[in-house]
Amino acid sequence: MAASAYASALGRLKPEFTSFLGRETYTSLLGARDVGDIAKVLETTPYGADVQQARAAYQGIALLEVATNRTFVRRNRHALEATPFAGRAVVGAYLTRYDRENIELILSSKAQGRPVTETDEHLISSREIPAGLYAGVLTLDDYRTLLAQPSIEATVAQLVKFGYGGTILPLLEQFERTHDIFPVLLALDREYYAQVREAAKFFQGDEWVVRQLLASEIDLRNALLLLKGKAVDLPLDAVTARWLEGGTISAAQAPDLYGARGVPELADRLADHFPSIPQGSDQFRSEGSLTAYEAAATRDRAVAELKRLKTYPLSLSVIFTFLLLAELERADLRRISFGKMYGIPSERLEPLLVSPRL
């Protein structure tokens, strides 16, 4: 792909890069008294229009969720539209993660018997914009049809026509016996990563950055899987059954890592992949919480990936730099919003944020 095509993409996205929240805004958000104050702070940012529009139908944490997701969808749509033709298959495949995230949210809600209204507000969508960010095949109306189904079985029947039947149907009988939705969610995740890796086969020569991005994401998920399993004393085979292949930490390495005597020792063993992860051990020892481990590992991954992506600016890297920054900001805003809703002090929330430390 000629560098000039990505120079054009960089030019189109440059104004959007400057719209990401600065450290001073995060300071204001952390200082907010409640979710209402967070909404007021966001009204002075690029989220303002979506906050104001969402007020017509939502309030409280739902208002923040809807507004944040709408801004997120619009940013990702701009990234897809700015992508040169030769890179669209890769970016489009990557963005189908939000179709799957929404489907997994709906299936989990059905399995737990949650009402439609509790789930609808959390869908990644933007008014009339398809929740799959124009890369997926489901529209917002399609998702609401799925939400309206009376059971998991009826929901799966609807999903068949969108191409997810081959993944879910073989597991439906097992779900009916066990009522455990996790194998279905894991199958969807495994299919997603396989499809994006297939789309990112070497063609233009810059797809390798996408494969590296996926590998580091899989490593993060597997590292957290090990920590969670160790924290609740799961047997090794129960952990490896949930393993995602495609990262740099292979399933063959899991037994050595999992042989640690406890969670803090396991974190030390994972430091070769996530140098800051042992910093979470103090919180784990005092509170039994894995949150600080996740924050440290997520930050390590973000720093490493952004450094790698920014080394090759006139390539697919410019698109994925933007996509990663958008994902991280959305995650940080959700941490702050839900943290305030549950009354978590600012001094405990601040170390968990990633974007202000990049």
Q: In this model, does residue 121 exceed pLDDT 80?
A: no
Contacts of range 212-217, beta carbons closer than 8 Å, 24 or more positions apart: 212/305, 212/308, 213/305, 213/309, 213/320, 213/324, 214/246, 215/246, 215/247, 215/248, 216/247, 216/248, 216/301, 216/304, 216/305, 217/247, 217/301
pLDDT tens digits for range 147-192: 888 888 888 888 888 888 888 899 989 988 988 888 999 999 999 9
Q: In the prediction, which pLDDT does 124 show?
A: 58
Q: Residues of the chain with pLDDT > 70: what percent?
A: 91
pLDDT in tens, 208-235: 888 999 999 999 999 999 999 999 999 9
% pLDDT > 90, the chain: 59
Task: Provide the mean pLDDT of the chain.
Answer: 88
Which has the higher per-residue pLDDT, 87 or 269?
A: 269
SS3 129: strand
CA-to-CA distance for 119 and 42, rounded, in angstroms?
A: 23
What are φ and ψ of residue 348, in 5° steps?
-90, -25
**Tens digit of each residue's pLDDT (9 = 90 or more) over 49-82:** 999 998 988 899 989 998 998 899 889 989 999 9
The tens digit of pLDDT for each residue in 323-343 reads 999 999 999 999 999 999 999
Instruction: Record the pTM.
Output: 0.89
Kindly report the CATH number that applies to the domain delimited by 207-311.
1.20.1690
C-beta separation of 125 from 131 below 8 A: yes
Greater model confidence, 121 or 75: 75
